[in-house]
Amino acid sequence: MVEGFEETIGRGKGSTRLYATIDLGRARVGRTRVLAGDPVNPRWYEDFHIYCAHFAAHVVFTVKAAQPIGATLIGRAYLPVRELLDADGNEIERRLDILDATKQKLPHGPMIQVRLRFCDVTTNRREWGAGVGSAQNPGVPYTFFSQRPGCRVTLYQDAHTPDAFAPRIPLSGGRSYQQGRCWEDVFDAISDARHLVYITGWSVYTEITLIRDGARPRPGGDATLGELLKRKASEGVRVLMLVWDDRTSVESLGMTWGYMDTHDAETANYFRGTDVQCVLCPRNPDVGRSAVMGLETAYLISHHQKIIAVDHDMPVRGSSSRRRRIVSFVGGLDLCDGRYDTQFHSLFRTLDTAHQKDFHQISIADASIDKGGPRQPWHDIHAKVEGPAAWDILYNFEQRWRKQGGDHELLVDLNALASLIIPPSAVTFPEDQEAWNVQVFRSIDGGASCGFPTTPEEAARSGLVSGKNSTLDRSIQDAYIHAIRRANHFIYIENQYFIGSSFAWKADGIKPEDIEALHLIPRELSLKIVSKIEAGEHFVVYVVVPMWPEGDPEKESMQAILDWQRRTMDMMYYDIAIALEANGIDANPKDYLTFFCLGNREVKRSGE
């Protein structure tokens, strides 16, 4: 609540649109919705659940007036962090003066009333360093999708696993881990669908084939993805696709290739006039974003979800049932060129077989199949989800389709098919060793999805970040933080990028506050290591990243990414080095934090 604003800003009632922000140091960590029509005593009554990994002297509350472009600063209020720390986890309530840029009181003395409570995560022994725990672990709190028991999960390492790759990985009970084959299972799932096939992707390319292993053929396996989807749609299956619209591919100008080479315009053209409904989805800004941020969102940020949801047969002993269930796929593999690979990650040897019609290389200039490669290898992970969580993945698609897909009536009415498709239910018994608890996380905003709570109170209970008339689901970050804080001995991470916590970067040649890579994951990792150093316990974080992300490493944009990645690493190593010195430990920071890059080489064999 803010008091005494009408006299301060000198405007009549109804002429202002006020909102407030919360900052820790150089990081914006909270933002209220915009209130219009009450400049005298605006009341937001909003709750925030904020993860903290910042060095800050004050919690800063800033009041602004929203404008069509940007905002007008009214003033700031400061709460010393020491007051929060000294409260020992108890709630404090304060009325704070709102000050001008010189930290002097504003005319007529406006004030803001706030309530805060700081919870030190290291004092919560049920969470801090507790490990994954048992099946009774309730999952990540404050999320849109809760944890679902009774699921089954199939894990995939790369798009395919050949029979020749068979390292024995022992499991409990004398069993061995069975490698999954992602694109084979995707082909089977789409082929088996009777009612729906829903697909989202950063890129979906119609000319790829999913079945390429000559030792593991499938009936109809030589069909391209585009042919397979058109065939299913012609059979009466509802095939809906949401593909990211790369704004740099302008079909009317003949530019179907696009800066990111995602084939989005080609894919849309391929399905035009068919029974497949393919919608190109731009990254539309949420309504609360400024005009400048809207342009940045539309042209510089992509849709990155890669999911498939299908109806699948319901197995029964000895046969199959007439009833169907929902099965979903989720992870890091797009259905596009360059993604089919195995654990051998061949550079040259598969150019006349598996990759003869799928040569992809945008990281080395002038490389081509005519010149003998090399192709760009691709390592990623994916998963098939069965059970209640498979429905959450389907609900995510429905929310996105209703926001950006156009005709809502194209979505299959699952209630009308209740006699054929079973509702969300467990697919395993609790005592089954293959029973999984699964929770779906995502990073998405109200510009790309509907179905979010309409009030700030409901949004806070769902773990959503609401403010300035926008809503954000950031549960992927929150899941990372939850896992990092529970870790006890080590953390292993694979990612194409490793950039974040820019609020803690050194200001050498840049203004860190201008680099809005504010997520907490790198800082959470370094502070976790620091806590282990202070406790005298061994702990290691292993991070696997490519030498550079996909693309030409000489381009300015790629150099910026690599520079930001270096700054992220530097920040983490600095935290660790300071902790080692403070605790009198003679050790290398790399003993606690190590980065690796995958590489491969091939020697020409006789006869090749």
**DSSP state letters, 136-172:** T----SS-SSPPEEEEEEEEEESS---TT-----B-G
Roughly how many angstroms between the first and final C-alpha of the chain, as a whole number?
Answer: 75
Helices 182-192/225-234 angle, 10° precision: 20
Q: Which pLDDT belongs to residue 245?
A: 93
Distance CA 74, CA 20 (A): 10
Alpha helices in 401-520 (DSSP H): 456-461, 475-486
CA pair distance 377, 361, nearest whole angstrom: 9
Q: Which structure tokens are listed for 567? A: 């700054």
CA distance 342 to 335: 15
Least confident of 177-181, 306-310, 351-355, 530-534: 177-181
Q: How far lies 606's CA from each of 352, 486, 603, in Å?
A: 16, 52, 10
- Whether pLDDT at 247 is above 90: no
- Greatest CA span in the chain, whole angstroms? 88
Strand segments, DSSP code E, in 57-214 are: 58-66, 71-80, 92-97, 111-116, 148-157, 196-201
* Mean pLDDT computed over 449-455: 89
Of 25-34, 82-91, 464-473, 599-608, the range with the highest mean pLDDT is: 82-91
pLDDT at 252 over 50: no
- Check: CB of residue 571 under 8 Å from CB of residue 584: no
Rounded alpha-carbon distances, angstroms, from residue 229 to 206, 234, 238, 544: 9, 9, 10, 35
Q: Determine contact, residues 155/564, Cβ cutoff 8 Å.
A: no
Chain mean pLDDT for the chain: 90
Angle at alpha carbon of residue 514, lines to 512 and 518, rounded to 5°: 70
Gap between the Cα atoms of 152 and 161, Å rounded: 20
List pLDDT tens digits, range 347-384: 999 999 999 999 999 999 899 999 999 999 999 999 99
Task: Please state, in angstroms and rounded to a whole number, the distance separating the CA atoms of residues 30 and 547.
Answer: 35
The pLDDT tens digits of the residues spanning 195-211 come to 999 999 999 999 999 99
Average pLDDT over residues 543-564: 93
CA–centroid distance for 344 within its chain: 27
Which of the four pLDDT bands, split at 50, 70 and 90, describes residue 71? confident
Is pLDDT larger for residue 254 or for residue 562?
A: 562
pLDDT of 179 higher than 60: yes
Which residue carries 């704070």 as its tokens?
A: 96
Sign of the alpha-carbon torsion through 128, 130, 133, 136: negative
Q: Which CATH architecture has domain 2-121?
A: Sandwich (2.60)
Q: Comparing 60-69, 493-502, 579-588, which segment has the lowest mean pLDDT?
A: 60-69
What is the spatial distance between Cα 476 and Cα 474, in angstroms, rounded to a whole number? 6
Phi–psi pair at 563, nearest 5 degrees: -65, -45
Q: What is the pLDDT of residue 17?
A: 83
Considering the chain, tell me which residue range(s) the CATH 2.60.40.150 domain(s) occupy: 2-121
Sheet holding 465-467, edge to edge: 443-445, 470-474, 465-467
β-strand 277-281 against 307-316: which pairing, if any? unpaired
The whole-angstrom separation of Cα 116 and Cα 94 is 9
Which pLDDT does position 292 carry in this prediction?
A: 46
Question: pLDDT grade, residue 460 (50/70/90)?
Answer: confident
- Range with the poorest average pLDDT among 37-46, 114-123, 272-281: 37-46
Q: Where in the chain is the domain with CATH 3.30.870.10?
A: 148-163+171-341+378-438
Question: What b/e readout covers 61-75, taking b as 16+ CB neighbours within 10 angstroms?
Answer: bbbbbbeeeebeebb
Mean pLDDT of 94-121: 94
Q: Residue 579: how many CB atoms within 10 A of its CB?
A: 20
Phi and psi for 244 in degrees, rounded to 5? Answer: -60, 130
Question: In sequence order, what are the residues at sequence separation of 6 or more whose Cβ sits closer than 8 angstroms to the Cβ of residue 546?
Answer: 496, 597, 598
Share of the chain above pLDDT 90, in %: 71
pLDDT score for 1: 60
Residue 348, both tokens? 């040259």
Architecture per CATH, domain 148-163+171-341+378-438, reads as: 2-Layer Sandwich (3.30)
365, two tokens: 């200039």
In this structure, the strands spanning 196-201 and 148-157 are unpaired
Residue 241 has pLDDT above 90, yes or no: yes
Evaluate whether 145 touches 37 at the Cβ level (below 8 Å): no
| Residue 139 or 261, more confident | 139
> How many distinct helices (H) and strands (E) make up the chain?
11, 22
Instruction: Please say whether the beta carbons of 306 and 332 come within 8 A.
Output: yes
Cβ proximity of 388 and 395 under 8 Å: no
Element (H, E) at 83: helix 81-85
- Over residues 275-317, the pLDDT tens digits come to 999 999 998 765 555 544 554 555 567 889 999 999 999 876 6
Nearest to 13 by CA among 46, 44, 38: 38
* pLDDT for the residue 289: 53
pLDDT value of residue 319: 58
- Backbone φ, ψ for residue 104 (5° rounding): -105, 150
Collapsed DSSP state (helix, strand, coil) of residue 545: coil
To the nearest whole percent, how much of the chain has pLDDT over 70? 91
For residues 150-154, average pLDDT: 96
